[in-house]
Amino acid sequence: MKVVVIGAGAWGQNICKTLKSLGALAAIVDADEARRATLTETFEVPVYGSWDEVPAGTAEAVAIATPAPAHYEVALQTLRAGLPTFVEKPVALSAQEAEHLADEAEKAGVTLMVGHLLLFQPAAAFLKEQIENGSLGELRSIHVRRASLGRARNVENVLWSLGVHDVAVVLNLIGAEPTQVLATGDAFLNPGIEDDTHVHMTFPGGVKAHIHNSWLWPTRERSTLVIGSKGMLFYDEIAQTVTRHKKWIDANLANQDEGEELAFEGAAAPLTLEMEEFLRCAATGEASRSSGRSAITVVRVLEDASKLLS
């Protein structure tokens, strides 16, 4: 499976490196003339200034890492060309556009996969397994924080920049669409572009999820806390560990504490796992864990939250 990467900025080059290591990089498309010379030297594949310049038959699949506002139009073009397509997050800037892309992929009979990278961290899969096997009892809530003194943007807010990852993970862990989305945010650095946001979701059965994103935060924090009726799991994304807290409050409001233990440890290269899954799904037609259809709900949550922030 030979893949053409469209868009080779900082993250696009990571995709190029990964596909090259997998023997799947066929060519690169990038509009930046100065960058193209460097890309040719670095990746030793043909580099073009636009998708229209790519010779017919070069691409068996496409990976899109352009700026987010271009995702929809570029993906529409490649899907209509009958090419399996990977699109970096967010797949589009509206749920309507996301749904249209999923429809086009199904009509063409090809894979549409979205770059929800954190779904490919083994620890995220471990959390989902623990929720589903009942080791935590009844799921009650999920709390996520992704914050640091980060690279503030002057176009997209912190929710669309960072929170998209966390929304995707929460939806995957719970396996349902929220019945209610609430959101608050602060725009201290740029008016109208939130640099600190809180999103609260309610799911069927009363399960809650809370996501805090900030690039105006003194320490680097990336964590997910899963709370159940019989215990809790804390995922430290920086350390790549999951700690099981065997603590809960029983029906008589008495604290139960059986200590804690390291339940999971181990980092992986999630981008490699993600690209391997894309190549496999593109070749076989099997559904990806980050399919275009599943990404519609992610964008819808971001849209609903954004309406409350404005």
Global pTM reads 0.93
Among residues 152, 105, 10, the alpha carbon closest in space to that of 67 is found at 10
The tally of CA atoms less than 13 A away on the side-chain side of residue 258 is 8
Is 80 exceeded by the pLDDT of residue 310?
Answer: no
Answer CATH for 122-267 from 3.40.1180.10, 3.20.20.140, 1.20.120.1750, 3.30.360.10: 3.30.360.10
For residue 204, cis peptide bond before it (omega within 30 degrees of 0): no
Distance CA 35, CA 297 (A): 35
Could you state, in order of their start, the residue ranges of all structural domains in the chain?
A: 3-116, 122-267
What SS3 state is found at 103?
helix
pLDDT of amino acid 99: 98
Q: Which residue, chain included where needed, has tokens 């086009």?
A: 104
pLDDT of amino acid 49: 97
* pLDDT classification of 268: cutoffs 50, 70, 90: confident
Task: Please give the helix or strand (H or E) that residue 130 lies within, else none.
Answer: helix 122-132
Instruction: Output the 3-class SS for 235-273.
Output: EECCCCEEEEEEEEECCCCCEEEEEEEEEEECCCCHHHH
Give 193-218 pLDDT, tens digit per residue: 999 999 999 999 999 999 999 999 99
Among residues 196, 271, 267, the alpha carbon closest in space to that of 237 is found at 267
Taking a C-beta distance cutoff of 8 angstroms, is the pair 167, 181 a contact?
no
Average pLDDT rounded to a whole number, residues 117-121: 95
Q: How does strand 25-29 pair with strand 221-228? A: unpaired
Give ∠ CA 25-8-293 in degrees, rounded to 5. Answer: 75
Class of 3-116 in CATH: alpha beta
Average pLDDT rounded to a whole number, residues 79-87: 98
Give 136-149 pLDDT, tens digit per residue: 999 999 999 999 99
